[in-house]
Chains A and B, each alone.
Chain A
Amino acid sequence: MLIFEHSRKNRRNYSQAPAARPARNNIPDNLKRRSIPLLPEVSEMDTVRHYTRLSQKNFSIDTEFYPLGSCTMKYNPRACNALAMLPQFLSRHPLAPEDTGQGFLACMYELQEILKDVTGMAAVSLTSMAGAQGELIGITMIRAYHEARGDTGRTEVIIPDAAHGTNPATAVMSGYKVIEIPTNRDGDVDMDALKAAVGPRTAGLMLTNPSTLGVFEKKVAEMSRIVHEAGGLLYYDGANLNAVLGKVKPGDMGFDVIHMNLHKTFSTPHGGGGPGAAPVGVADCLLPYLPIPIVAHEQGVYRWLTEKDRPQSIGRLSAHMGNAGVLLRAYIYVRLLGAEGMFRIAEYATLNANYLMAELRKLGFEIAYPDRRASHEFIVTMKEIKDRTGVTAMHLAKRLLDKGFHAPTVYFPLLVPECLLIEPAETESKETLDRFVVAMKEILDEIDTQPEMVKAAPHNMPLRKIDDVKAARELDLVWNPAG
């Protein structure tokens, strides 16, 4: 039942809005609203009950194991939320003078310094509100760099086929042509293809390392050399930073610009789709172009840098300073971890992934890159199972829901057929992983004995399989009271 269906005309919630309509109203008649907007008229209790019940229809980290590859669904510590929501932080206006926000700005400055250290980059801007925006910033800076050198013939960005969809989408949104290069059988970028692709038109390369295939790109140093020799720059998609935190720094791998998804590696919540935060780090060559605002610390005072301080900056990407509250949560998280905690993250994320990979392999699941170590994630391919039984990766995903586990990422990366990209994250215990292995074993047996039942999953969820073909064909995007 929709919230609108609980609505009754003139039912009102008295305490939350002003007690009456004020007498004064100077809005000219021709600019006044005549229609009543379709907002529900419900009581506070109706609202609380309705949305509490809706929440209970979600899987979440707080309620289920959520091994969604490439998304790093780790536990979101409660302290990070509670302390970021202290009333002084919440009530601070973004345009309040800097001297009324020194406590907040100190957190932001320290976060910048910590992120610089973790990534080995020369400087960091906190403004980006998600990974994709970080990518846009990075590629825009690469453009600014080439333009400043009068090097205007660079029109292409090279992207491996394993890359996340945001990479090619970003390159095009930034006005570049995408040159896709293939992956070899081991899951590494095909070096010959890379060598053939680079040239005077190369603006840069976008790379995720460890890649979304769940393996570490071993020849990253050579790739960096090839691209740099051709005059291009290297972009690091930091979505998988959790796998190497404290082990390898993107700056040492030769990257010129990176983003890190704080909503992955630094455990800020995903919120059912966002918000995120994806600070961007740069090497010296891109420093002048970094987007503002950036926090500076001068003579014991924190202040925002502006266009005056950074005349070559590519500009601004948000109305204020990006997702400040998310940054605050990430700051609290890194202070809780400390350096020694940070080292352990990559270690245990990697341990969990390799353990789960070993256990699933023992059950007979086919591992896409069987000769490789898993990074913090790995891929199972259902190709053989599908050819034999007709049961697909999506069918298995839905059946996992029945068993109380969120599904892994399915059908990404696109180059592995019928793939399940599985990322257990370091916060999960061995018992949970073992329960997941048992569920996968049960499904494997069900595929043999009752494949049709598996194909018809889910069976135990509030709804059976959703018809998304119908959703696209008979578009129903807003509720209409007339029916």
Chain B
Amino acid sequence: MPFIPHTEEDVAEMLASIGAASIDELFDEIPTELKNGQLTQVPVGMSEMEISRLMYERAQQDGFYLSFIGAGAYEHHIPAAVWQITTRGEFYSSYTPYQAEASQGTLQLLYEYQTMMASLTGMDVSNASLYDGASALAEAALMAVRQHKSSRRILIPQTVHPVYRRVVRTIVRNQAIEVVEVPYDPATGQVTIDQLDQFAQEEFAALIIPQPNFFGVLEQVDMLADWAHDKQSLAIAVVNPTALAMLKPPGEWGRQGADIAVGEGQPLGIPLSSGGPYFGFMACKQELVRQMPGRIIGRTTDLEGKEGFALTLQAREQHIRRSKATSNICTNQGLMVTAATIYMSLLGPEGLYRVAAQSHANTLALVERLEKLPGVKKAFHSPFFHEAVLQLSVPADQVLDKLRAQGVLGGVLLENYYPDLKNMLLICATETKTAEDLDKYTEVLQQALTA
């Protein structure tokens, strides 16, 4: 039943005040022929007890698995305090902080978030979030085209997450922006200067640089950023925020640093939750800030000079500039940023480093164990962060089915995204995996390969 507090008496008094005989009368401006009181697919309402039972059953049906899947969404330990604080009603049930004086909590938190993200990426400024990593990348591409002015083409390596590439295409195509894909070196799984140099004579607004890339492989980011800047293109970094605790931040890539850094914020305290809600982060150089989409919070003062926070640079946004806005984004992923900020505070620089380093070490250990099995080898000879691609000598889809029967989700079939990469698995072992978990994977894979 709906959450409506009115008593019959209330309704009578309210109608009397309005001067209407019935609630129905309040709908008298709607043409009769449009009225439609039929709902056939909406079941009868449930009590909280009944819906709880249904949801428990469905949750149980889905169960728990030992998962080695990454590919853009990563299982990390989330400290208990993160969601206990995040789901406090004052964060959970407030709106976008338009009324600054009644939203100082959210605004200050976002300012702290911007500070943390700018530092983590090595950039000057950060916005307060976009929808997710893929749409953030699309926004970065649009931003680069606005900034560059002369070219409407974007270079995107095939080592960028395949779905991100698709999302970018869907979004930028409307503005007649061309997306050109750069192949990778099949031996290393990296973009090379040789691959890029075939485009040396053409003009591009930006080169997108993933770190780590979709294969988990580390790209030669300094070289790539310099290549972009040498030909007056912007360098757009798409990065994993956990990895940034260990890896050189985009702001320090090459001679000038990347111009825009985006990525998926999910690893920072957001549950996997079947794919969302996550959040996209975006940071950039100071000189690009007026091209940035999304909310930005500034520190200022009140009438009496006390420190306070407010939405700022709103002249970029749709509610002020309408058709001239930098983006149409309005609602963002605020609550996810709340969780991420609390997560980063709890972990601190050393904690985040350890999460990254342990994830890296676990994946190294897992790959080493699996490589010893007959019929398994590493697909690419390059350093990786916390994901790697394995080449199997047998049909990988069947192997995955066998692992699943043992309660293990063994990774992602690369062929789903790269039709030429047959029988390859993309695997990931974050800090959540113990030595026993790695043994278990090794054992069930061995069985699957021999059975």
Considering the chains assembled together, what is the distance between the CA atoms of A171 and B412 in angstroms? Answer: 37
Q: Which of A38-46, A189-197, A225-233 is near enough to bind chain B?
A: A38-46
Check B109 for interface membership: any CB of A closer than 8 A: yes
In the complex, chain B residues whose CB is within 8 Å of the CB of A92: 62, 272-274
Give Cα A357–Cα B188 distance, bound, in whole angstroms. 68
A-B contact pairs, 22 of them (CB 8 A): A18-B354, A39-B344, A39-B347, A51-B342, A88-B60, A104-B62, A164-B330, A178-B323, A248-B36, A263-B331, A271-B335, A273-B335, A320-B163, A335-B45, A362-B17, A398-B99, A409-B98, A427-B4, A465-B303, A466-B301, A467-B300, A472-B312
Minimum CB–CB distance from A296 to chain B (whole Å) comes to 16
Whether B373 sits at the interface, judged by CB under 8 Å, is: no
Which residue from A96, A178, A341 sits with its C-beta under 8 Å from B409? A96
The verdict on B175 contacting chain A, using a C-beta distance below 8 Å, is: yes
The docked-state distance in angstroms from the alpha carbon of A132 to that of B43 is 29
One of A55-63, A382-390, A442-450 at the interface: A55-63
The verdict on B288 contacting chain A, using a C-beta distance below 8 Å, is no
B73 to chain A, nearest CB (A): 5
Q: How far is the CB of A423 from chain B (nearest CB, A)?
A: 11
Report yes or no: A24 in contact with B361, Cβ–Cβ below 8 A. yes
Known: A92-B274, A166-B318. A129 touches B81 (CB 8 A): no
Report whether A173 and B274 are in contact in the complex, using a CB–CB cutoff of 8 Å. Answer: no
9 further contact pairs, Cβ within 8 A, besides A25-B246, A324-B274, A475-B312: A22-B357, A37-B116, A73-B95, A83-B55, A165-B321, A166-B330, A272-B91, A321-B276, A401-B99
B46 to chain A, nearest CB (A): 5
At the interface, yes or no: B65 with Cβ under 8 Å from chain A?
A: yes
Known: A26-B383, A58-B102, A358-B18. A93 touches B73 (CB 8 A): yes
CB-contact partner of A25 in B18, B36, B357, under 8 A = B357
**Nearest chain A residue, comparing its CB with the CB of B84:** A48
User: In the complex, what distance in Å separates the CA atom of A77 from the CA atom of B36?
Assistant: 27
CA of A319 to CA of B214, assembled, Å: 12
- Interface members, chain B 278-304 (any A CB < 8 Å): 278-279, 289, 295-304
Question: Contact between A129 and B59 (Cβ–Cβ < 8 Å)?
Answer: no
> Beyond A59-B99, A97-B409, A342-B39, is A358–B92 a contact (Cβ under 8 Å)?
no
A68 within 8 A of B: yes
Residue interface bits B90-119, CB-to-A below 8 A is 1, else 0:
111111111111111110110110111011
Is B90's CB under 8 angstroms from A103's CB? Answer: no
Considering only residues 245-277 of chain B, those with a C-beta below 8 Å from chain A are 245-249, 252, 264, 271-277
Q: A33-B246, A467-B300 are known contacts. Are A342 and B361 too (CB-CB below 8 A)?
A: no
Report whether A55 and B90 are in contact in the complex, using a CB–CB cutoff of 8 Å.
yes
Residue of B nearest to A173 (CB): B328
- Judged by a CB distance under 8 angstroms, whether A344 is at the interface is yes
Tell me whether A256 is interfacial, beta carbon within 8 Å. Answer: no
Q: CB-CB < 8 A to A248: which residues of B?
A: 30, 34-36
- Contact size range, B: 35 or more
Which residues of chain B have C-beta atoms less than 8 A from A107's C-beta? Answer: 55, 58
B438 interface residue (CB < 8 Å to A): no
Cross-chain contact of A58 among B46, B91, B174, B361 (Cβ < 8 A): B91
Closest B residue to A86 using CB positions: B59
Is A113 engaged at the interface, CB distance under 8 Å to the other chain? Answer: yes
Known: A58-B103, A430-B10, A477-B297. A335 touches B43 (CB 8 A): yes
In the assembled complex, A50 has its CB within 8 A of some CB on chain B: yes
A105 CB, min distance to chain B CBs, angstroms: 9
B62 touches A48 (CB 8 A): no
Known: A117-B40, A468-B300. A42 touches B348 (CB 8 A): yes
- Shortest C-beta distance, B295 to chain A (Å), equals 7
Closest to A313 in B: B170
Identity of the chain B residue whose Cβ is nearest the Cβ of A66 in the assembled complex = B95
- State whether B81 touches A48 (Cβ < 8 A): yes
Interface residues of A in 355-377 (CB under 8 A from B): 355, 358-359, 362, 372-373
Is there contact, CB below 8 Å, between A2 and B112?
Answer: yes
CB distance from B293 to the nearest CB of A (A): 10
Q: What residues on B are CB-neighbors of A247 within 8 Å? A: 27, 30, 35-37
Q: Which of B130-138, B201-209, B441-449 is near enough to bind chain A?
A: B130-138
How far is it, in angstroms, between the C-alpha of A88 and the C-alpha of B332 when the chains are bound?
26
B149 within 8 A of A: no
**When the two chains form the complex, which single residue of A52, A172, A316 contacts B85, counting CB atoms closer than 8 Å?**
A52
Q: How many residues of A contact B (CB 8 A)?
A: 204
Q: For B336, list chain A residues within 8 Å (CB).
A: 271, 274-275
In the complex, A77 Cα to B47 Cα: how many Å?
Answer: 12
Tell me if B353 counts as interface (CB < 8 A to partner A): yes
**CA distance in complex: A135, B39 (Å):** 25
Report B-chain residues with C-beta under 8 Å of the C-beta of A103.
Answer: 57-62
Question: Is residue A354 contacting chain B, with contact meaning CB distance below 8 A?
Answer: yes
B352 touches which of A39, A118, A246, A326 (Cβ 8 Å)? A39
B1-23: which residues lie under 8 A (CB-CB) from chain A?
1-6, 10-11, 13-15, 17-20, 23
In the complex, chain B residues whose CB is within 8 Å of the CB of A362: 17
Q: Cβ of A285: which chain B residues have Cβ within 8 Å of it? A: none
Cross-chain contact of B312 among A102, A165, A471 (Cβ < 8 A)? A471
Task: Using known A-B contacts A41-B348, A44-B79, A320-B73, determine if residue A173 contacts B175 with beta carbons closer than 8 Å.
Answer: yes
B151 interface residue (CB < 8 Å to A): no
Q: Identify A428's interface contact among B5, B30, B46, B246, CB under 8 A.
A: B5
| A75 CB, nearest partner CB in chain B, Å | 5
A168 within 8 A of B: yes
- Binary contact track A133-172/B, C-beta < 8 Å → 1, others 0: 1011001100100000000000000000000111011111
Report the separation of the CA atoms of residues A186 and B439 in the bound assembly, to the nearest whole angstrom.
73
B167: which of A15, A173, A317 is its contact (CB, 8 Å)? Answer: A317
A339 touches B300 (CB 8 A): no
State which residues 372-416 of A face B: CB under 8 Å: 372-373, 397-398, 401, 406-407, 409, 412
Q: Are A26 and B360 in contact (CB under 8 A)?
A: yes
Q: Are B302 and A319 in contact (CB under 8 A)?
A: no
Query: Which residues from B are CB-within-8-Å of A398?
Result: 99, 101
Residues from 167 to 192 in B contacting A, C-beta threshold 8 Å: 167, 169-171, 174-176
B122 in contact (CB, < 8 A): yes
Query: B194 at interface (Cβ–Cβ under 8 A)?
Result: no
Interface string of B37-80 (1 = CB under 8 A from A): 10111111111100110111111111111010101110101010
Judge if B129 is at the interface, Cβ distance under 8 Å.
yes
Q: Which residues of B contact A426 (CB under 8 A)?
A: 2-4
A52 contact set on B, CB distance < 8 A: 85, 88
Q: Counting CB contacts under 8 A, is A36 at the interface? A: yes
CB distance from A264 to the nearest CB of B (A): 10
Contact B277 A275, beta carbon cutoff 8 Å: yes
The residue in chain A whose Cβ has the minimal distance to the Cβ of B400 is A97
Asked if B71 and A338 sit within 8 Å, CB to CB, the answer is no
User: Is the pair B85, A48 in contact by a Cβ cutoff of 8 Å?
Assistant: yes
The answer, yes or no, to whether A462 is at the interface (CB within 8 Å) is yes
Given A471-B298, A476-B298; A13-B351 close (CB under 8 Å): yes
B395 at the interface (CB under 8 A from A): no
Within 8 A of A (CB), among B188-241: 218, 221-222
- Quick one: closest A residue to B49, CB to CB? A79
Could you mark each residue 316-330 of chain B with 1 if its beta carbon is under 8 Å from any beta carbon of chain A, else 0?
A: 011111111101111
B101 near A465 with CB under 8 A, answer: yes
Q: A61 CA to B64 CA in the complex, in Å?
A: 34
With A275-B277, A339-B43 already in contact, the answer to whether A165 and B360 are too (CB < 8 A) is no
From A99, which residue of chain B is reached at the shortest CB distance?
A: B404
Complex Cα spacing A94 to B65, Å: 13
- A62 proximity list for chain B (CB < 8 A): 89-90, 92-93
